[in-house]
Amino acid sequence: MNYNRNKEIEEADAPVIVFERVSKTYQKGTPAINNISFQIRKGEFVFIVGSSGSGKSTLIKLILKEIEPTNGKIYVNFKDLTRMRHRQVAKYRRGIGVVFQNFRLLKDRNVYENVAFAQRVIEVPGSTIRRQVPFMLSLMGLLDKQKSLPTELSGGEQQRVALARALVNNPVILLADEPTGNLDPKNSWEIMKLLEDINKRGTTVVVVTHNKEIVDKMQKRVITMNKGILISDEQRGGYSHAY
Ligand SMILES: Nc1ncnc2c1ncn2[C@@H]1O[C@H](COP(=O)(O)OP(=O)(O)OP(=O)(O)O)[C@@H](O)[C@H]1O
């Protein structure tokens, strides 16, 4: 598995997520996102923070093209999302790794199968799956849990399975929506260290979180939202500057 993706590291400065004056108003509402512009470059690690209802999940849904902006332009991986054809959307989404607060694992499949499934749906050859799934599980420290069902795992282990599944197809971007929301501090830090390792290997990582301690300690770029408006965007920022 060519996990280093040398070509992409060479293009480390290329913007992989671009929002240009983007607004989103749900039916009968005030704007959930109001005239937002920002760029995230290849290989960056970015936190998105803000109080409940500030528009963070809306932002993630826009990036995944689960919803359409009311105004503005969004480019991801050099594709104009507003002009993407319906039949191209599934393939586009498979190019982005995503993890959520509640893990979203297949409950009736073991750890190995949960990760392999992400490859089976895009018809990766069996021999490649048999090589790449154990590699990914070993990166996540899960080789000895391959045969366990999600219900037999701790929350931290379940999130590591979700990470393995999100990463096995080698995405350029990993989106994490509250990845530590259901975890205790020790497991939260383990997941954040893994996200940092993944980022060092070249993957662009975008993390939505309410975890003040983690944001303050990690000293990454922090985009802060408030009532649909981007109120600050700081390199080596902190949560404490948020409100
Ligand atoms: N499907 C929807 N229909 C109508 N309004 C919505 C919908 N989804 C979100 N909203 C509204 O849009 C605003 C932004 O919501 P969003 O879920 O993006 O916030 P958030 O920052 O992710 O919040 P949280 O931290 O609680 O997850 C809120 O006012 C919310 O009520």
pLDDT in tens, 33-61: 999 999 999 999 999 999 999 999 999 99
Please give the pLDDT value at position 216: 94
| Mean residue pLDDT across the chain | 91
- CB contact set of 231 (below 8 Å; sequence gap of 6+): 50, 224, 225
Task: Please check whether residue 17 is in contact with residue 40, taking contact to mean a CB–CB distance below 8 angstroms.
Answer: yes
* pTM of the shown model: 0.91
| 149 class by beta-carbon count within 10 Å (0-12 exposed, 13-18 middle, 19+ buried) | middle
Percent of the chain with pLDDT over 70: 93
- Please tell me the distance between residue 94's alpha carbon and the centre of ligand 1 in angstroms: 24
pLDDT in tens, 55-111: 999 999 999 999 999 999 999 999 999 999 999 999 899 889 999 999 999 999 999
Alpha-carbon span 87 to 89, nearest angstrom: 6
- Please tell me the distance between residue 29's alpha carbon and the centre of ligand 1 in angstroms: 10
Q: List, in sequence order, every residue forming a beta bridge with 47; answer none if it has no partner.
A: 207, 222
- CB contact set of 168 (below 8 Å; sequence gap of 6+): 115, 118, 119, 132, 133, 136
Task: Please check whether residue 162 is in contact with residue 153, taking contact to mean a CB–CB distance below 8 angstroms.
Answer: no
Ligand 1 pocket, mutate which of 57, 63, 229, 231 (most atoms under 8 A from CB): 57
Q: Is the pLDDT of residue 225 over 50?
A: yes
Query: Which atom of ligand 1 is nearest to 28's Cα?
Result: 4
Please give the pLDDT value at position 240: 64
Residue list, ligand 1 pocket, CB within 6 Å: 26, 29, 32, 50, 52-58
